[in-house]
Chains A and B, each alone.
Chain A
Amino acid sequence: MRRIGDAPLTRRLLIGLALALSALFLLLPLVAIFAQAFSQGVAVFWSNVSNVFTLHAIGLTLVIALMTIPICLVFGVALAWLVTRFSFPGRRLLQTLIDIPFAVSPVVAGLIYLLLYGRNGWIGSWLDQHDIQLMFAWPGILMVTVFVTCPFVARELIPLMQAQGSREEEAAVTLGASGWTAFWRVTLPNIRWALMYGVILTNARAVGEFGAVSVVSGAIRGQTNTLPLHVDQLYQDYNTVGAFASAALLALIALLTLAAKAGLEWRAARRETRYSSDQLPETVSKSVPKTSSQTPLESMPSGQNRQPLGGERRL
């Protein structure tokens, strides 16, 4: 049966147009980053990357990301558990509140932290008297990074845990397992891929955050300069090749993120086809809603596969 837009000419025209536009506006910038980074040869690239300030920026960026991930992980799992396993007044409000970071412009995010914890803020002035400096130091960078990345893990987990329901945990608890055992042995195996995806997204954003960090960091070379700020500084200093060398490292992380996303989606799609045969246990197949189809237990819900990175679609 012929479908709309299946005529060979329409088809070729549209595919050609989509490919040409994507190549021009998405692929070309990606190629340009690496072309610029290596424009003076591998040796210059390497000397730029192994520069002492670049190395420090890489180190600081990685440390910030490594500290951000566990914080977001604990919060994300706790919030997802709370809103998917219990119903209570204010449940929707909590879910709406965690979307705030997606709505707030990064510069505004940095600003509100600076106003509160900076020397003039009501907390900042007290901290200042006790010689504690948060802004223009690494704790400030960590705080705004946590602010901008905290929705990712929760946003990945909530739709999945809601689709799975709490029957398996309830069965475990009824049979005498403690809450922790139920969580570690039942919940965690079910959500581990979504959890991993959430961590990948958190990491990508934590490593690349620019607007919020540039407000609170002070960008002191060798002290509070993260990799994106370092890119900015080198670029402003007309050291284009140096800037693109660091940018290439960040682009590499972005490419790894895309590969990981594609890999997890491919895995989820494979599970879906496996489960869509008669392998679903009877009770489960009964409880899986047929409307939105392809939402078998344990696999990622179909909506999730098609989200933009970080589920920002459901702002």
Chain B
Amino acid sequence: MKNVAFKRPGSTRVLPGFGLSMGISVLFISLVLLLPMTGLFGQLFELSFSQYWAIITDARIVASYTVTLGAAAVAALINAVFGLLLAWVLVRYEFPGKRLLDALMDLPFALPTAVAGITLATLYAGNGWMGRLLEPLGFQVAYTWVGIALAMAFTSIPFVVRTVQPLLEDLPVEIDEAAMSLGAKDGVAFRRVIMPYLWPSLVTGTGLAFVRSLGEFGAIIFIAGNMPYETEITSYMIFVRLQEYDYAGASAIASVVLFISLVLLLLINVWQGRFVRRLHGGKG
């Protein structure tokens, strides 16, 4: 889009440094990103298919998929609502503390995950600030899947806010004016006029939050309690296999995680591509 405006034919090789920058980039990507992948495949090829299948369909591992996917889905749904609310409030309204709230949105990315993990675990444990309020009411958060979903929601909320926010900022005022001057009520106008414009980015942001939640480790293991079949996440299972020096088992589970997150990312990219083309009126 905007990048293309600067591309002029014939201008590509005026500047020097092609060989050097290509050399550094390719060397780095090969050594740091691609070469280590060979280790994983090497390990996987030592397993027969039936062994591989037995590892990844082990009952305890399957339970961890269910916990991880379920909690990540709940976290993503919470974030879709909460993130939309925050983006809306940050773009549309002026109020004291707005800049502070805006800065606070990035906290989950800036805060090391282990720190977020022990903090949430301490807050929501039975004797923590939140746990003391919630447990008498019958809500147990720490050491249940609710805690896992909470930690996932915490670490991935910025994805939704920061994906929806720029779109909301670019929304033309005329849209509001047209809807309001035709006498629509706020709720109807939001649902019928703003949401159709916003929901593709909301889906993208929620999807990214979901992928991030699937891979999250540090923020979750402290609050999860890690009880077999109940509150073990898949990343933790890889970690456990590694501590047992079961490298083959760890690799097999890791390959499942890697496959799922790469496929989801691909889907999100395709989705984003389609949506961008549609908005700019190009042909599919």
Contacts and interface: CB of A to CB of B under 8 A. Distances in A.
A163 B239 contact: no
Contacts of A261: 103, 106, 110
A69 interface: no
Given A3-B180, A262-B103, A302 B166 contact: yes
A36 B128 CA distance: 10
B28 to A, nearest CB: 5
Contacts of A66: none
A87 B7 contact: yes
B193 interface: yes
A21 B87 CA distance: 13
Contact of A115 (B18, B40, B179): B40
A82 B111 contact: no
Interface in B165-211: 165-166, 169-170, 173, 176-177, 179-180, 186, 189-190, 193-194, 205, 208, 211
Contacts of B111: 30, 208, 250-251, 254
Contact of A3 (B173, B205, B214, B257): B173
Given A85-B15, A107-B238, A79 B95 contact: no
Interface majority SS (helix, strand, loop, mixed), chain A:
helix
B12 interface: yes
Interface string B3-28: 10111000111111110111011001
A231 B20 contact: no
Nearest to A121: B39
Nearest to B116: A29
B74 interface: no
Given A28-B129, A87-B12, A173-B15, A15 B93 contact: yes
Interface in B121-175: 122-123, 128-130, 153-154, 157-159, 161-163, 165-166, 169-170, 173
B51 interface: no
Contacts, number: 332
A99 to B, nearest CB: 8
B283 interface: no
Nearest to A263: B103
A210 interface: yes
Contact size class for A?
A: 35 or more
Interface in A193-233: 204, 207-211, 214-215, 228-229, 231-232
Q: In the complex, which of the residues B18, B21, B97 has the most CB atoms of chain A within 10 Å of its own CB atom?
A: B21
B115 A75 contact: no
Main secondary structure of the interface of B (DSSP, over half): helix
A308 B158 contact: yes
Contact of B162 (A3, A259, A313, A315): A313
Contact of A26 (B33, B104, B118, B215): B104
A291 B43 CA distance: 50
Given A116-B36, A308-B109, A163 B215 contact: no
B225 interface: no
A269 B36 CA distance: 41
A3 B25 contact: no
B252 to A, nearest CB: 11
Contact of B36 (A88, A147, A229): A147
Nearest to B5: A289
Interface of B: 1-3, 5-7, 11-18, 20-22, 24-25, 28-29, 32-40, 42-43, 82, 85-86, 88-90, 92-93, 95, 97, 99, 101-116, 118-120, 122-123, 128-130, 153-154, 157-159, 161-163, 165-166, 169-170, 173, 176-177, 179-180, 186, 189-190, 193-194, 205, 208, 211-212, 214-218, 222, 235, 238-239, 242, 247, 250-251, 254, 257-258, 261-262, 265, 268-269
Given A103-B265, A247-B115, A292-B2, 4 more contacts: A5-B190, A94-B29, A210-B217, A240-B122
14 contacts: A3-B180, A101-B33, A103-B215, A105-B261, A106-B235, A107-B254, A108-B258, A111-B238, A112-B254, A120-B247, A258-B106, A259-B103, A306-B165, A308-B159
Interface of A: 1-5, 7, 10-11, 14-15, 17-19, 21-22, 25-30, 32-33, 36, 74-75, 78-79, 81-82, 85-88, 94, 97-101, 103-108, 111-118, 120-122, 143, 146-147, 150, 159, 162-167, 169-170, 173-174, 178-179, 182-183, 204, 207-211, 214-215, 228-229, 231-232, 235, 240, 243-244, 247, 250-251, 254-255, 257-259, 261-262, 287, 289, 291-293, 295, 302-303, 306-310, 312-313, 315
